[in-house]
Amino acid sequence: SEKCSLGKNKTFLFSCVCYHSLIAGLNALDSKMGGLPLLVQRTIARTIVLQEIVGKGRFGEVWRGKWCGEDVAVKIFSSRDERSWFREAEIYQTIMLRHENVLGFIAADNKDNGTWTQLWLVTEYYEQGSLFDYLNSNTVTADEMIKLTFSIASGLAHLHMEIVGTQGKPAISHRDLKSKNILVKRNESCAIADLGLAVKHDSVLNTIDIPQNPRVGTKRYMAPEILDDTMNINNFESFKRADIYSLGLVYWEISRRCLDGGIMEEYQLPYYDAVSSDPSIEEMKKAVCEQKLRPNIPNQWQSCEALRLMGRIMRECWFTNGAARLTALRIKKTISQHCGQNSKA
């Protein structure tokens, strides 16, 4: 019979030919181990049949693959990027990381094709692709905008949250939040992906688990304190606050595509009208830190309650002073309250 027997605790009977049972098993294991044993991961990876390239990222290609009749995503790194592959796999296997708005990790493996070694990262597959792709080809209603923005805030709040206890979860900062690193699920909610640059915080020792190079990520989305090198890298809150600035830019991208504001604008990247298509640190620093520019929030948004709310949230994500920015949890609660008020109306 098509069953997946993922045994209790650390004993596994791997007879898995059912994708959905596997995902259920992974969810159950999350509080104990954070991921499957390496042998099980290897077994899964070696039975995947690659179908087509669906994207290219910083470290390689992303493929759609088939496993047990279901689609999975396979991110393929070259062997020279082994540290990046190992790091991302390590972050994804953090205990208690699994969340409906964070990309679901399945397996990591290295595959030798005879000429070179490929490093695989296998995750759940979302056919809608990235939020960037989705917004380029779709407009959204106010309700859809709220669903997208709420789900991203939920995923980020989960990453940022520390769960205390023996089987707890460290606080995690993403450090490269942007529309290309967020995936759109079939139900029109989002999942945050690409955790390769993320950092974990040890609250007991008050340490961050990798060398604290603050200038990583995508220049267009970098917070002012990263651009002008004033970020306090010894305070983990600084990393979370930088994520919030980036989140505000993603919200702007979504809101521009909303039909309910009386004006629906073509898709654009943040600061499209202020910097070049591939801006340098200096270019971004001049626009964001020296000229104090922020993406334009149209007056027409005032006529739509949902867009008015989003405009207010964005402004509170973009403060130059990181300590004044909203937290991911506060943003999640604010959007949730809006949904509650609308349902009563």
Indicate which CATH number applies to the domain containing 55. 3.30.200.20
Catalytic residue among 176, 194, 243, 260: 176
How much is the pLDDT for 124? Answer: 95
Q: For residues 193 and 328, state if they share a domain.
A: yes
The SS3 call for residue 198 is coil
Q: Which residue has the higher pLDDT, 222 or 25?
A: 222
Considering the domain boundaries, does residue 7 fall inside one? no
How much is the pLDDT for 12? Answer: 38
Considering the domain boundaries, does residue 64 fall inside one? yes
Q: For residues 105 and 147, state if they share a domain.
A: no
Per-residue pLDDT of 62-104, as tens digits, reads 999 999 889 999 999 988 888 889 999 999 988 889 999 999 9
Q: For residues 179 and 93, state if they share a domain.
A: no
Note whether 101 and 328 are within 8 A (CB). no
Q: For residues 310 and 161, state if they share a domain.
A: yes
Q: What is the DSSP letter of 211?
A: -
Q: How far apart are CA 145 and CA 151, in angstroms?
A: 10
Q: For residues 65 and 200, state if they share a domain.
A: no
Instruction: Please determine, for residue 224, whether its predicted confidence score (pLDDT) is greater than 90.
Output: yes
Considering the domain boundaries, does residue 31 fall inside one? no
Q: Which residue has the higher pLDDT, 211 or 40?
A: 40
How much is the pLDDT for 212? Answer: 60
Q: For residues 187 and 50, state if they share a domain.
A: no
How much is the pLDDT for 343? Answer: 57
Q: For residues 69 and 147, state if they share a domain.
A: no
Distance between alpha carbon 121 and the CA centroid of its chain, in Å?
Answer: 15
Q: For residues 73 and 200, state if they share a domain.
A: no
Considering the domain boundaries, does residue 34 fall inside one? no
Percent of the chain with pLDDT over 70: 87
Sheet holding 199-202, edge to edge: 171-173, 199-202, 207-208
Note whether 56 and 88 are within 8 A (CB). no
pLDDT band at 260 (very low <50, low <70, confident <90, very high): confident
How much is the pLDDT for 344? Answer: 55
CATH code for the domain in which residue 214 is found: 1.10.510.10
Q: What are phi and psi of 70, to 5 degrees?
A: -115, 150
Instruction: Please determine, for residue 5, whether its predicted confidence score (pLDDT) is greater than 60.
Output: no
Considering the domain boundaries, does residue 4 fall inside one? no
Dihedral angle over CA of 10, 11, 14, 15, nearest 10:
-140
Q: For residues 224 and 327, state if they share a domain.
A: yes
Considering the domain boundaries, does residue 73 fall inside one? yes
Q: Which residue has the higher pLDDT, 117 or 295?
A: 295
pLDDT band at 272 (very low <50, low <70, confident <90, very high): very high
**Residue 176 annotated in active site:** yes
pLDDT band at 203 (very low <50, low <70, confident <90, very high): confident
How much is the pLDDT for 2? Answer: 36
Mean pLDDT of the chain: 88
Q: Which residue has the higher pLDDT, 6 or 152?
A: 152
Domain count, the chain: 2
Per-residue pLDDT of 11-63, as tens digits, reads 333 444 566 667 766 666 655 556 677 777 878 888 899 999 998 877 889 99
Tell whether pTM > 0.75. yes
Note whether 258 and 304 are within 8 A (CB). yes
Q: For residues 87 and 222, state if they share a domain.
A: no
DSSP state string for 316-344: HH--SSGGGSPPHHHHHHHHHHHHHHHHH
Q: For residues 70 and 150, state if they share a domain.
A: no
How much is the pLDDT for 11? Answer: 35
Q: Is 8 annotated as a binding residue?
A: no
Q: How far apart are CA 211 and CA 214, in angstroms?
A: 9
Per-residue pLDDT of 108-133, as tens digits, reads 998 887 788 899 999 999 999 999 99
Considering the domain boundaries, does residue 23 fall inside one? no
Residue 66's domain spans which residues? 45-124
Task: Enumerate the β-bridge partners of residue 190.
Answer: 184
Considering the domain boundaries, does residue 10 fall inside one? no
How much is the pLDDT for 195? Answer: 94
Q: Mean pLDDT: which of 160-169, 230-239, 322-331 is highest?
A: 322-331
Can you tell me the mean pLDDT for 105-109? Answer: 92
Helix segments in the chain, DSSP class H: 19-29, 38-45, 82-92, 131-137, 142-160, 224-227, 236-256, 281-285, 305-317, 328-344
Residue where a domain terminates, one of 103, 124, 145: 124
Pairing between strand 105-112 and 117-124?
antiparallel
Can you tell me the mean pLDDT for 298-310? Answer: 94
Q: How far apart are CA 65 and CA 172, in angstroms?
A: 29
Q: For residues 90 and 229, state if they share a domain.
A: no
Candidates 329, 90, 103; CA nearest to 200 is: 90
Residue where a domain terminates, one of 72, 90, 124: 124
Residue where a domain terminates, one of 96, 124, 152: 124
